[in-house]
Structure 1
Amino acid sequence: MALIFYARVSSQGQNLDRQLARSKEVKADKVFTDKFSGKTTNRPGLKAMLQFIREGDTVEVISLDRLSRNYQDIQHLVQRFKDIGVKLVVDDLPQTHTGNELVDQFMLDMMINLMGFVAQNEREKIKERQRQGIEQAKKRGAYKGRAKKYAADSSDREGKLVFEGIKRDYQAGDYQSKAQLARKYGISRQQLYRILNLIK
C-alpha cells in the first residue's frame, strides 16, 4: 500500500516547489508531476500515475484542481480510483480525510457533486450571456455569426490555404473523388462539402 503524490502546474514557467515540499512532508512513496494545463487529462505524469496505482494505494493532491480543472474529468478520475480501490486525499478539503473511510468518501462525493452544480450553473450563465449578446448584436446589425475556418477570407492561415488548395483542385478537376480530396487535405467530408458550397 503506497502513498502516491501527484503534483501539477499549468506551464513550464511555473514551479512545483510548494507541492513537492508537501510530498516530502507526508513521506510519499512515489511522486508524479506534470507541467501541463488542467484542461486535459492527456498528461504524461497523470497517465504514468494511473498505470502505477494499485488496490490499497492512496493518492494525495493539494487540491482537486491539480487532478483536473474539468468537473467531468475529476468525476471520471475519482470513479477510476474507486474502481481500483485507491483512496484519494485532498489536502485543502480536510473534511474529506477524517479517518473514517465511509465519511471521507461521502464528503468527497458531496464536494464533487457541489462542484458539478456550480460548474453547470456557470455554463448556463455563460450561455445566457452569449445568447443575450448575440441578440443585441443582431439588433444593431453587427452579428455576423461564427467566422469560417475554411474560407477565402479566413483569418486562420492554415484554413485559408486548405480552402485555396481545394478550390484549385476542384475547379481543375484534379481529384479522383470527393472522399480522396477530403483525405488529401486532412478534413472530413462534411467540411469538404461546406467548402464546395462556398466555391460554387
Structure 2
Amino acid sequence: MKIGYARVSTTDQNLDLQFDALVDAGVSRENIYEDKSSGRNDNRPGLDACLKALREGDTLLVWKLDRLGRNFRHLINTVRGLQDRGVAFIVLTGQGANIDTTTPNGKLTFGIFAALAEFERDLISERTKAGLNSARARGRRGGAKPKIAPYALAGVMAKADQAAIARDKEFSLAKAAAELGVHRSTLWRSRRRAENAAMDDSKLA
C-alpha cells in the first residue's frame, strides 16, 4: 500500500500542491497524513499516526525530503527505521528526488545521505572535544554555569571539614544547602565536581 505524508509550515497552510503530487503518484487521498507545523516542531501528530499506520511491504511517499525530518539526523533515523520495518521510502521532487528505496540506485543515494549524516555527527563530536580540551588548557571548563559560586562552595566545604574534625553534629550539608538556597543534591554534585576538577588539575601539574 502507498501512504503519503504532507506538511506545511505555520505560515503556509496550503497543502494542495503536495496532495496533488501524492495522488498523481498513486496514493489514495484517504491514505495521506498531514501536519501544519514548522519542521523543528517535535509535536507532529500526523507524522506519528502515519508511521504507526505503515506495515511491512508498504511505501511511504513525501513530496520533498524536508517534509519528513525535523533535521538531517532525524530524517536519516526515520528512514532507517522504515527500512528495518520493511517499509520503502520515495521522495517525489526536490534534491532528494533520487531517493527511492525500492530500487538499487535509490538505496545507494540514501546510503550516501546516511554516510554524510554520520560524518557530520563525528565531525561535530570531534570539534566539541577539541574545543573543550583547548578551553581546559587555558584554565576554562565547559558545561553549564555552576549554581553555587566557587567561593561559597569553598566556604561551606571548609566549614564541613571543621565540623567533621570537631564532631559538630549541629552542622549538616542539608542545612548548608538551605542557607545557599539550593537543593542538597545540588550541593553534593558541586562538591564532587570541585573534587574532580582538583584531581584533574593535579594530574596536569
TM-score normalised by length of structure 1: 0.57
Look up the match of 1:69: 71
How far apart are 1:81 and its partner, in Å? 0.9
Q: Alignment RMSD, CA only?
A: 4.1
Q: 1:37 to 1:7 in 2, by over 3 A?
A: closer
Look up the match of 2:127: 125
How far apart are 1:147 and its partner, in Å? 4.0
Question: C-alpha distance in 1, partners of 2:106/2:40?
Answer: 24
Which amino acid in structure 2 is aligned with residue 85 of structure 1?
Answer: G
Q: How does 1:1-200 map to 2 (within 5 A)?
A: 1-7=1-7, 9=9, 12=10, 14-17=11-14, 21-27=17-23, 28=27, 29=29, 30-33=32-35, 35=37, 38=40, 43-61=44-62, 62-64=64-66, 66-71=68-73, 73-90=74-91, 91=93, 92-97=95-100, 101-129=103-131, 131-132=133-134, 134=135, 138=138, 143=140, 145-148=142-145, 150-151=147-148, 170-171=174-175, 191=186, 193-194=188-189
TM-score normalised by length of structure 2: 0.56
Q: What secondary structure, in the 3-state scheme, does the structure 1 residue paired with 2:56 have?
A: coil
How far apart are 1:25 and its partner, in Å? 2.2
Which amino acid in structure 2 is aligned with residue 115 of structure 1?
Answer: A
Question: C-alpha distance in 2, partners of 1:131/1:172?
Answer: 33
Q: Deviations over 1:20-47 (max 9, x none)?
A: 522322214312325255485x643332
Question: C-alpha distance in 1, partners of 2:121/2:41?
Answer: 14
For structure 1, list consecutive stretches of 5 or more residues without a partner in the other structure. 154-167, 175-184
Question: C-alpha distance in 1, partners of 2:39/2:187?
Answer: 32
Q: What secondary structure, in the 3-state scheme, does the structure 1 residue paired with 2:111 have?
A: helix
Report the number of matched residues.
160
For structure 2, list consecutive stretches of 5 or more residues without a partner in the other structure. 151-171, 194-205
Identity %: 19
How far apart are 1:172 and its partner, in Å? 8.4
Q: 1:23 to 1:123 in 2, by over 3 A?
A: farther
